[in-house]
Each structure stands twice: as structure tokens, then as C-alpha cells.
Amino acid sequence: MPPPTTLQLSADHFGIAEVVAPLVEPSLEGEGGLSSSAPPMLHQTPQMKRLSTPWAICLTRAEQLAQCRLADGIVLDPACGSGMQLYAYCARLGRPGLGIELDSDAALLAAANGKRVWDAHGGDWGAKTQVVLGDGTDAAAALAAAGLSERPVAVLHVDPARPQDAQRHSLDEMQPPLSELVGSWADHLAEGPVGPAIIIDLSPRLSDAQREEVGEILGARWQDSPITWEWVSKGQGRIDRLTVWFGGAADARSPARMLRLLTDGSVVRFAGESITATTDISSTPQPGQWLTIVDSALLSSGLQQQWLRKAISHRSPSRWLRTDGRRPLLLTDIPLRMDDPKVSSFVSTTGEIMSQAKLPPNEAGIESILVSARSAYLARLTLRCSLSPGLQPILQQALDKGLKIHPRGKQGFLIDADTPDGPGWFICRVP
Ligand SMILES: C[S@@+](CC[C@H](N)C(=O)[O-])C[C@H]1O[C@@H](n2cnc3c(N)ncnc32)[C@H](O)[C@@H]1O
């Protein structure tokens, strides 16, 4: 491994790469604020493009970090890629940064990208910000190359590369590997009253055991520091990011945090204690009650109780009929407060139960389901239950055809739920 090389922020490094982050506004140059709708025109190689953090997420995190009490010092990203996240922090906090990158193309472009963000947002952080082409797990060598000494790092953020196409992978397969990274940097992190500030971007597919392992790597070194696990979703039940905020970067009152990024740039946030939801199928749902398919990302965070408190009055009963899979299902006696975006952004579908299907959704049962849907005056009944992929379009077509008689009727859905008597299918009307 050649010795690390230091690069100052400069447009001179631009050259070989394609521009991928689109400029929504014609130019960001001269704009004072950071905006999620106007990503800076940063340069990335195709490899960096695949790995880079969406600008809206970079900004949301920078805003969150700005609320934390940090020690004096720089922001470090020892695997900085395009540098987007690093510079979002630097610009928001007004602090110099140090990016380290093993890949020479990425390091050059990161140094050029830094100049873009600095020019756009001003401040004096850029003059002291550097990118080191080298190994992020060799803290001593990188600091020597950058001319930094003592404990210069106020915040360590890292987003390690993960093996591609692997459903499951071990923590050591992340590049750079976490334990090595933490071991190498621990003595160079400035510590506040609750330890150093560390933010680690992890695979959304990490198992609970692997999450524990991450907690242990950090906890072994700083026993009493708080930890906040954060789930970020852009919708459709997908978890886009799983991040651990540790020590000075954590919210000591909230071991868990759920962020839903909305398309208008706003963020819906829940924070608190993570509690695993339990199912209750002790009685069969009845007409007049409400069934809601809830975003599975919310249940992954364990913050569904906080959401539920916004969704219905705390005096009104509710229970989970299903908590796992892609369609967690909630039963309530009353409709949810869907006019509140904090509620609706986690709802996939909600509707009032009109009836329970007498027969299962198959070719023999579809006629009886159609009769019930017609008497509920539905213009469409969308199948939201588990069906074989071959059967689904056939049944949906039969329903669409059979419900043409009520073109002005309401929308509905058919959902499956376990009952004390086995599987049940419910015809629901969307309000
Ligand atoms: C997931 S990417 C980071 C993406 C970055 N957050 C962004 O928004 O562009 C991980 C980066 O770590 C780099 N990397 C892997 N091992 C490294 C090491 N030992 N030292 C420095 N960089 C490393 C990879 O080249 C890759 O660019």
C-alpha cells in the first residue's frame, strides 16, 4: 500500500467522471441554504453512484447532527466515497472535514466535489478540509498525512461498502470493517460528557443479532455512552437506511428513531423506546371495524406505539392482527386520523370492514365475493391478500369486470387476516 496522499479541495481534480447527481435548479452556485430539492452537481464514477447516499438523507442527517452537543474538532469520514455526506455535515456545522478514500478516482472526485459544495455554501470550513487517498483503517497514517494531531475528530461518520447481492453478510465483510475502524480511531476521537460522536451507516438488511454485535463493538470501548438506532424510509415499506448514532451523536432519551422522508422534502419523525409489536387474533374482526395495512418499516423500528397514539384516540381499542411480512395489519374500532401526514405517511391502505367473505378468493369463491362487493357499492375491489402469482391477475380481472355496474362507487380492498377459526378474508371500503 503506497503512503497516503493528501488532496486539498479543488476543481482541478475534475476530469474523468460522469455527472450523476442532477441539478434540479439550473445552478446552486451562489445559493446560501442547503436544499434537498437542489442537490449540488457532484461528480461520481458509476461505482460511486451505486454507493452514494441520497442528498435528501445527507441533509436530514446534517440537520440532526446540528442539534447535538459536539466536542471541538473536525468531521471525519474514513470511507468518504463522493464526499456528499461529509460535505453536508461540514456545510451545516461550519466545521472542516477529513475524508479518506481508498479508491483513487473516488478520492480525486471527492476533493473536487468538496470545492463545489464549499463554493455553493460559503463559510471557511473548506480551506481546512482535506481528502486523503489512503486506508481509512490506518488512523495514524491518515492523520500524519493531513498534518493533524492530538484528538482532532469531533464526529466520525462512516458508511462502509457492503457486499453486493448478498441477502446476509457478516459485519467483517463491510469495507472498511467496523471493528478495525473503531479500534484504529478510538484514541483520536474527541470525547464529550457522553463519549465520542459516532454515526455508522449500516445495511438495512442487518439482523437483530448483527445489530447487537455493532452495539457490542462500540459498547466495549465506551460502556456508558448512549445509542440511538435509526430507520429511514422513503416509503413502500422499504427501509432505505439503518444507522446507529452513538455517544455525542445519540439522542440519550431515544434508543430508536424512525424517519419517513416525504417527496416534498419534509420528514416525519418518531422517536422513543423500541417495542416489538405482538399480535392478537383472539376474536374475528367485525363489520364496522377498520383494517389498516401499515408500513412494515414502522414495525421494524418498534415505534408503532408512538404512531398509534397519533392515529387514534388512546381510549379507543386497537390490536395487531399481523406484525411481520410486507403487510402488517392493524384492527381499530374507529377510522384513523388520515388528515395528519404523521399518520397517513405510514399507511398503505385503510378501510372499513363491510363483510367477511364466505368463501376464499379463488375461482369458485369469486362470485360470492363479487356479490358482497356490489352490496357494499364498490367500484373496485383491489386484492391485498396473499395469492399465487398466477391466480392474482385472473381474480383481479374478474373483480374489475364484475364491478363495472357501480362506476361511481367507492374503492375497496380484500385483505386476509388470521382469525380464531383459521384464515379469513375481509371486504373493506376505503373512506
Ligand atoms: C458506501 S461507500 C461510501 C459512500 C458515501 N457515503 C457517499 O455518499 O458517496 C464506501 C466507500 O468506502 C471506500 N472504502 C472501502 N474500504 C476502505 C478503506 N479501508 N479505506 C478507505 N475507504 C475505503 C470504498 O471505496 C467506497 O467508496
Cβ partners under 8 Å of residue 372, min gap 6: 354, 355, 357, 358, 427
User: Is position 320 within any domain?
Assistant: yes
Q: Quick check: CB of 161 below 6 Å from ligand 1?
A: yes
- 323 and 360 together in one domain: yes
Q: Same domain for 255 and 315? A: no
Atom 27 in ligand 1: residue holding the nearest Cα? 81
pLDDT for residue 33: 60
**Nearest Cα to Cα of residue 381 among 401, 408, 411, 351:** 411
Which atom of ligand 1 is the closest one to the Cα of 53?
8
Contact of 62 with 267, CB cutoff 8 Å: no
Residue identifier of the C-alpha nearest atom 17 of ligand 1: 176
Ligand 1 in contact with 292 (CB < 6 A)? Answer: no
Distance 110 CA to ligand 1 centre (A): 11
Pocket perturbation via mutation, ligand 1, pick of 20, 84, 101, 181 by most ligand atoms within 8 A of CB:
101
Starting at the edge strand found earlier in the chain, the sheet holding 410-419 runs 318-322, 329-332, 290-294, 347-356, 422-429, 410-419, 378-383
CATH number at residue 422: 3.30.2130
Q: What is the pTM of this model?
A: 0.89
Domain that includes residue 306, residue range: 290-429
Determine whether the shortest distance from the Cβ of 382 to ligand 1 is under 6 A. Answer: no
User: Do 80 and 112 belong to one domain?
Assistant: yes
Domain presence at residue 278: no
Distance CA 284, CA 53 (A): 45
Q: Could you give the dihedral angle defined by the CA atoms of residues 79, 85, 87 and 89, in that order, rounded to the nearest 10 degrees?
A: -110
Together in a domain, 312 and 266: no
Q: Are 412 and 428 in contact (CB under 8 A)?
A: yes
In a domain, 68, yes or no: yes
Q: Are 189 and 143 in contact (CB under 8 A)?
A: no
User: How many other β-carbons are positioned within 10 Å of the β-carbon of residue 94?
Assistant: 13
Q: Is 44 in the pocket of ligand 1 (CB under 6 A)?
A: no
What's the CATH code of the domain at 98? 3.40.50.150
pLDDT value of residue 30 = 39
* Residue 282 falls inside a structural domain: no
In a domain, 230, yes or no: yes
Taking only the tens place, the pLDDT of each residue in 108-137 is: 989 999 998 998 888 999 999 999 999 999
- Is the CB–ligand 1 distance for residue 100 below 6 Å? yes
Q: Please indicate, yes or no, whether residues 342 and 219 belong to a single structural domain of this protein.
A: no
194 CA distance to ligand 1 centroid (A)? Answer: 27
Residue 280 lies in a domain: no
Whether 225 lines ligand 1, by a CB cut-off of 6 Å, is no
The SS3 assignment for 210 reads: helix
Beta carbon of 82 within 6 Å of any ligand 1 atom: yes
Contact in structure between 374 and 403 (CB atoms under 8 Å): yes
Q: Which of 47, 103, 199, 200 to mutate to test the pocket of ligand 1 (most atoms within 8 A of CB)?
A: 103
Place of cell 374507529: 334
pLDDT at 38: 65
Taking the centre of ligand 1 as the mean of its atom positions, its distance from the CA of residue 68, in whole angstroms, is 25
Is 246 inside any structural domain? yes
Instruction: For residue 116, give Cα distances in angstroms to 11, 39, 398.
Output: 7, 11, 56
138 lines ligand 1 (CB under 6 A): no
Give 107 Cα–ligand 1 centroid separation in angstroms. 9
For residues 387 and 377, give the distance between their C-alpha atoms in angstroms, rounded to a whole number. Answer: 24
- SS3 sequence, 285-311? CCCCCEEEEECHHHHHHCCHHHHHHHH
| Ligand 1 contact via 109 beta carbon (within 6 Å) | no
Regarding whether 265 and 373 lie in a shared domain, the answer is: no
Cα(20) to ligand 1 centroid in Å equals 18
Task: Determine the distance separating the centroid of ligand 1 and the alpha carbon of 179, expressed in angstroms.
Answer: 16
User: Which ligand 1 atom lies nearest to the CA of residue 58?
Assistant: 8
Q: Is 45 in the pocket of ligand 1 (CB under 6 A)?
A: no
User: Closest ligand 1 atom to the C-alpha of 181?
Assistant: 19
For atom 7 of ligand 1, the residue with the nearest CA is 52
Total domains in the chain come to 2
Q: Are residue 202 and residue 296 in the same domain, yes or no?
A: no
Q: Looking at ligand 1, which atom is closest to the CA of residue 136? A: 20
Residues 91 and 226 in one domain: yes
Tens digit of each residue's pLDDT (9 = 90 or more) over 193-221: 999 999 999 988 888 899 999 999 999 99
Question: Given 3-state DSSP classes, what are the helix, strand and coil percentages for the chain, each rounded to the nearest 5?
Answer: 30, 25, 45
- Based on the domain organization, do 402 and 345 belong to the same domain? yes
The verdict on residue 277 lying in a domain is no
Give me the residues of the chain with pLDDT under 70, please: 14-34, 36-39, 165-168
Give yes or no: residues 264 and 366 share one domain: no
